[in-house]
Amino acid sequence: MKAVRFHETGGPEVLRYEDVEEPVPGAGEVRLRVAGSAFNPADGGMRGGFLPIPVTLPHIPGYDVSGTVDALGEGVEGLAVGDEVVGFLPMAADGSAAQYVVAPAEAVVKAPTRIPLADAAGLPSVGLTAFQALFEAGELQPGQRVLINGAGGPVGGYAAQLAKRAGAYVIATASPRSGEVVEAAGADEIVDHTATSLLDAVTEPVDVLLNLAPITAEGFVALVPLVRDGGVVVSTTPTVPTPGDDERKVRAATIFVHPDADALSHLVALVDSGELRVEIARRVPLSELPAIHEQAEARQVHGKVVAIPPVD
């Protein structure tokens, strides 16, 4: 089969599009014929050796996948050959940037039927990150006010949609390039962070501050006064400490996305009911994935990119 792999860590030039032996599912695993493999910034971090995730070299990246069940390992129940599924794969294992991938059966759920199967690869990790940040860490409730800093990215788009659907008042930051997308996601207020300071734009306290944007430690601390007493600051940026305020009982929570088949199935149901949109910016052949890594290094990737393997 064809796959993209790196045999050593480094820049995008270490990626190779090459022939690789087809994987065989073990007990409790399924093999998928990959329809789509979504690119995530963490793929570049693992390729570069910057993230503390113990991959075995050579490594196939890609932890978001959509595809068709092609073979079942021993003991797998509830899935059948031919099922169309979507999943968030173990990040240390070989991933979906290939024609076939092996996945734990519990990592995949039935794919949405409302959208193309390849596009469904854009849902798992970013959708789960948004869901877990808002509802597990943020404990967001109907009627509350939420500020999403960095709503123009893939996670932010899901966060704005999910928060609005939950009955929250959504304030979101976005650049002029992504403003229309954020507005379509349901934001009640949009702050152009390239022209306006959040400290000036947000005039009433928020219950939840969700940071998804690159930020300095000092800049993050400066946003905490926007959160009401007893509120929460949530962040997906582990390189910068998430600030709180003990005196005002403003708690801090840092999110590390984790597998949750039930939550993923819930997100799929929202897609199929038309209550959650999956936005794909670009679809590229798998052979062009190394170029996507190069563009990401140059900050030229905006929105979700899905790589599509060749058909046998």
Residue 263 in any domain: the answer is no
96 to 7, 188, 271: CA distances (angstroms): 16, 36, 22
Is the residue at 231 inside a domain?
A: yes
**pLDDT over 90, % of the chain:** 85
Same domain, 37 and 104: yes
User: What CA–CA distance (Å, rounded) separates 26 from 102?
Assistant: 8
What is the CATH number for 110? 3.90.180.10
Instruction: Write down the pLDDT at residue 16.
Output: 98
Whether the per-residue pLDDT at 185 is higher than 80: the answer is yes
The DSSP bridge pattern shows strands 145-149 and 169-174 to be parallel
* Whether 141 and 77 share a structural domain: no
Asked if residue 15 is part of any domain, the answer here is: yes
Residue 220 covered by a domain: yes
Could you tell me if 19 and 112 lie in one domain?
Answer: yes
Query: How many domains, the chain?
Result: 2
Do 140 and 98 lie in one domain? The reply is no
Question: Residue 175 pLDDT more than 90?
Answer: no
- For residue 291, what are the domain limits? 2-122+278-308
| 267 domain residue, yes or no | no
Q: Are 284 and 234 found together in one domain?
A: no
Whether residues 23 and 139 share a domain: the answer is: no
For residues 194-222, give the mean pLDDT.
92
Report the pLDDT value the prediction gives residue 96, as an integer from 0 to 100.
98
pLDDT tens by residue, 276-308: 999 999 999 999 999 999 999 998 998 899 999
Segment 169-177 mean pLDDT: 88
**Length of the chain, in residues:** 312
271 in any annotated domain: no
pLDDT range class, residue 223, cuts 50, 70, 90: very high
- pLDDT reported for residue 196: 82
248 and 185 both lie in a single domain: yes
Residue 182 predicted with pLDDT over 90: no
Cβ partners under 8 Å of residue 145, min gap 6: 168, 169, 171, 204, 205, 206, 207, 208
Mean pLDDT, residues 82-88 taken together:
98
Is residue 270 domain-resident?
A: no
The pLDDT of residue 52 is 84
pLDDT in tens, 105-152: 999 999 999 999 999 999 999 999 999 999 999 999 999 999 999 988
DSSP state, residue 22: P
Q: Are residues 103 and 159 in the same domain?
A: no
Residue 181 has pLDDT above 90, yes or no: no
Same domain, 101 and 220: no
What pTM, to 2 d.p., does this model score?
0.95
Give the mean pLDDT of the chain. 95
Residue 268 lies in a domain: no
**Predicted local distance difference test score (pLDDT) of residue 184:** 81
Residue 177 pLDDT more than 80? no
Residue 166 backbone zone (phi > 0: left; psi -120 to 50: alpha; other: beta): alpha
Task: Judge if 68 and 150 occupy the same domain.
Answer: no
Q: What is the CATH number of the domain that holds 213?
A: 3.40.50.720
The per-residue pLDDT for range 22-67, each reduced to its tens digit, is 999 999 999 999 999 999 999 999 999 988 889 999 999 999 999 9
With 80 as the cut, is the pLDDT of residue 269 above it? yes
Packing angle, helices 124-131 and 154-165, rounded to 10? 50
pLDDT of residue 178: 75
Looking at the fold, whether 38 and 82 belong to one and the same domain comes out as yes
Assess whether 142 and 246 both reside in one domain: yes
